[in-house]
Amino acid sequence: MCSFRIVFSNFLTTKHDALSGHFRFFENMRIILPCIIVTHIATSTLSYNASPSSMVANRVKSVNYFISRECNYKCKFCFHTQKNTHKLGLGKAKLGLQLLQHSGTEKINFAGGEPFLNPELLGELCKYARQDCGMAVSIISNGSLIKPDWMKRYGEYVDILGVSVDSFDPATNAAIGRGGDTDKNQHVNRMLKVRELCSNQGILFKMNTVVCSLNHDEDMNEHVSRLEPYRWKAFQCLILKGENAGG
């Protein structure tokens, strides 16, 4: 019997603390982008000087770090439609992780865009966050660019790998914007390979699904049982004017 958790949430409103194993919901979750990560944490750090009690209240326990907004897919519901190639270099990114560590961060989640478009940067940040900062490390990816060599080199520094699986039907995936045209759509096969790579490296495999008009009535039970994610997270699509409205 397959055992996993299913959690429903809205985009931009859910943060997962891997250390406690529970989902926490926040009214005003902040998405920390590379361009503002240092400023945000420096401001938080200064506030710690007030009193010991305020230090505990202001700690940034869990952070989503968007390496860049670059992506190789064109999912119609995605709110990251205003893409650019901006990203911090490794040195500045490590400085940001140091500041997060000093602010009490215990878990870092690398996302995008598609983080594996920058595999070397992603790998070195995972290594630094885990090895030097003592953080739990997770990645959210569409799964299309994860290679065995990367997993062998950096897999030991990753605790959780979440992949986006919105459908197990090639035509539906193609209509959503995942993985090319209908005849050549290989998204599901890629997910099975990623699942195997995670098993080989001892990485927890998580599955994310965005429920939309194209997949809301699809029965995924058989395929999800094959993948055996330790957690299955379902999102409600959030429409943002100027981003994915009309998609």
Catalytic residues: 71, 75, 78
206 phi, psi to nearest 5 deg? -115, 150
First to last CA, the chain: 37
Written as six digits, the tokens of 228 are: 């055996």
Give the bridge partners for 162, in sequence order: 140, 206
Specify burial of residue 112 (Cβ count, 10 A radius: 0-12, 13-18, 19+).
Answer: buried
**Alpha-carbon distance 208 to 201, whole Å?**
20
- Single-letter code of the amino acid located at 64: N
The residue assigned the tokens 């397959």 is 2
Q: What number of residues does the chain have?
A: 247
What Cα–Cα distance (Å) separates residue 231 from each residue in 65, 99, 184? Answer: 21, 30, 28
What string of H, E and C letters represents the secondary structure of 77-135? CCCCCCCCCCCCCHHHHHHHHHHHHHCCCCEEEEECCCHHHCHHHHHHHHHHHHHHCCC
